[in-house]
Structure 1
Amino acid sequence: MTEFNSKNFVELYQTLQGQELWRFLNTEKAIIQMKTASDLNKPALLGIEKDLLRSGLMQTKEQIESLGIDGKIYDRTKQMLGAMVRQIMESEGYKLHSKNMRVVTSSKIFYAATLYREIEDKE
């Protein structure tokens, strides 16, 4: 596992949650789920959303209000999560295909997410 290039999220990445998110995303299971979602033409984040919720690393939009979580930090954490996923997906041979794909109806966490495509070998 390489270190997260956290240039825009230095303080947030240094928190316990930031470190735990990075470890979670670098597990073999999470990587397979993100790649599978991408291969099925879905944003990579949707492949790991259920596990993010089950693990308690992320909460639903509704939970943040009842738990008193700062909405700005929650949104910033989602942005960092997207940057982390991008770094991992690119290291796995995928490239960004479409940014800000609306996922409102199918996601309990995200409003929009990024779609990745596997880079095809050209011989």
Structure 2
Amino acid sequence: MKDFDAGSFSDVAHTPLASALWQFLHRDTSIACLETTTYLKRPAIEGLQPHLLAEFGDEIKADRVKQMTGRMVKQVMESLGYRLEQIDVSIRRKDLYKTAARYAKPEEQQ
């Protein structure tokens, strides 16, 4: 697992929460959820929302943390060979996010 490239999130990236999120996103179960949701042509983080809420509670609801989590998901997905397909895709169940990015394997992009 590579280190998280914080970019503009350096203000929140060096916290215990950020470290825990990065570890959480690399769990086999989290990766399976991200890939399954992507396979269904939905934003990767959509299916992970209830798990994020169960694991991190209200801490995950802060806008800056949600944005950082999106950047983390992007890096995880790219490390698995996915590429960004579309941004601002509406989430069906808005438990945590309203919109998110959708990914696809290069051979699946149209």
1:85 pairs, out of 73, 92, 100, with 73
2-side partners of 1:76 and 1:52: how far apart?
15
* TM-aligned CA deviation for residue 59 of structure 1: 3.4
Paired residue type of 1:16: P
**Identity rate, percent:** 31
TM-score (norm 1): 0.81
1:94 pairs, out of 72, 82, 91, with 82
* TM-aligned CA deviation for residue 60 of structure 1: 9.4
Length, aligned pairs only: 108
Structural mapping, 1:2-81, within 5 Å:
2-55=2-55, 57-59=56-58, 74-81=62-69
1-side partners of 2:49 and 2:14: how far apart?
22
1-side partners of 2:85 and 2:59: how far apart?
26
TM-score (norm 2): 0.89
Matched, 1:114 2:101: yes
Q: Which runs of 5+ in 2 are unaligned?
A: none
Q: After TM superposition, where is structure 1 displaced by more than 3 Å over at least 4 residues in a row?
A: 58-61
Q: Which runs of 5+ in 1 are unaligned?
A: 65-73
C-alpha RMSD of the superposition: 1.9
